Structure 1
Amino acid sequence: MNSQPFGPGSPKSFLAYPRGDFDLESGTFRKPRKPKNSDPGIIRMIKSLRNRIQYFYKLHPLAVFLLSLCFGLTILLVLSIYESRFRTMISQNGELGLGLNSYPLANLQNLVMVAGHSIYTSANCGKIDKEDSWFLEPYQKHPGQAATFVAHIKDGVEAVAKDERALLLFSGGETRKDAGPRSEAQSYWAVAESKGWFGWQDNVRSRALTEEHARDSFENLLFSVCRFRELTGTYPQNITVISYDFKEERFAHLHRSAIGFPESRFSFHGTPTTPDSKEAAMKGEALVRAQFEEDPYGCLGSLHKKRLKRDPFHRVIPYPHGCPELKGLFSYCGSAPYPGTLPWLS
Structure 2
Amino acid sequence: MVAGHSIYTSSDCGKIEKEDSWYLESYQKNPGQAATFVKHIEEGIEIVDRDEDALLLFSGGETRKDAGPRSEAQSYWAVADYKGWFGKEESVKWRALTEEHARDSFENLLFSVCRFRELTGTYPQNITVVSYDFKEDRFANLHRSAIRFPESRFFYAGTPATSNAKEAALKGEELVRMQFSRDPYGCRGSLYHKKLKRDPFHRSIPYPNGCPEIESLFRYCGPTPYPGALPWP
Q: If the TM-score is normalised by the length of the shorter chain, which range does it land in?
A: over 0.9
Query: What is the aligned partner in structure 2 of residue 162 from structure 1?
Result: 50
In structure 1, the residue corresponding to 2:45 is in which secondary structure? helix
Once the two structures are superposed, residues 301-324 of structure 1 have per-residue CA deviations (whole angstroms, 9 ceiling, x without a partner) of 000000000000000000001000
Taking the aligned partners of 2:160 and 2:224, their CA distance within structure 1 comes to 32
1:337 Cα shift? 0.7
Return the match for 2:184 from 278, 296, 299: 296
Is 1:322–2:210 an aligned residue pair?
Answer: yes
Please report how far the alpha carbon of residue 230 of structure 1 lies from its aligned counterpart in structure 2 after TM superposition. 0.4
Does residue 187 (structure 1) correspond to residue 75 (structure 2)? The answer is yes
Aligned to 2:28: 140
| Counterpart check, 1:334 vs 2:217 | no
1:155-304 correspondence to structure 2 within 5 Å: 155-304=43-192
Letter of the 2:143 counterpart: H
Q: What is the count of residue pairs matched by the alignment?
A: 233
How many angstroms apart in 2 are the aligned matches of 1:153 and 1:337? 31
Structure 1, gaps ≥5 residues long: 1-112
Identity %: 78
Q: Aligned partners of 1:341, 1:219: CA distance in 2, in Å?
A: 20
Query: Does residue 114 in structure 1 map to residue 114 in structure 2?
Result: no
**What are the equivalent positions in structure 2 for 1:44-59 lying under 5 Å apart?**
none
- CA distance in 1 between counterparts of 2:195 and 2:43 reads 27
| Equivalent-residue separation in structure 1 for 2:183 and 2:231 (angstroms) | 23
Give the residue type in structure 1 aligned to 2:55. L
- Paired with 2:160 and 2:57, the residues of 1 have a C-alpha distance of 21
CA distance in 2, matches of 1:245, 1:289: 14
Q: How far apart in 1 are the matches of 2:125 and 2:3?
A: 19
Whose radius of gyration is greater, 1 or 2? 1
Q: Which amino acid aligns with 2:130?
A: I
Query: Within 2, Cα distance between the matches of 1:326 and 1:277?
Result: 38
- Corresponding residue number in structure 1 for 2:232: 344
What stretches of structure 1 move > 6 A for 4+ residues in a row?
none
> Which structure 2 segments of 5+ residues have no match?
none
Q: Let me know the Cα RMSD of the aligned residues.
A: 0.3
**In structure 1, C-alpha distance between the alignment counterparts of 2:198 and 2:149, rounded to whole Å:** 26
1:114 Cα shift?
0.1
1:131 is aligned to 2:19: yes
Q: Distance in 2 between matches of 1:249 and 1:337?
A: 17
SS of the equivalent of 1:282 reads helix
Query: What TM-score do the two structures reach when normalised by structure 1?
Result: 0.67
TM-score normalised by structure 2 residue count: 1.00
Amino acid at match of 2:121: G
1:306 is aligned, of 177, 194, 197, to 194
Greater relative CO, 1 or 2 (CA 8 Å, sep 6+): 2
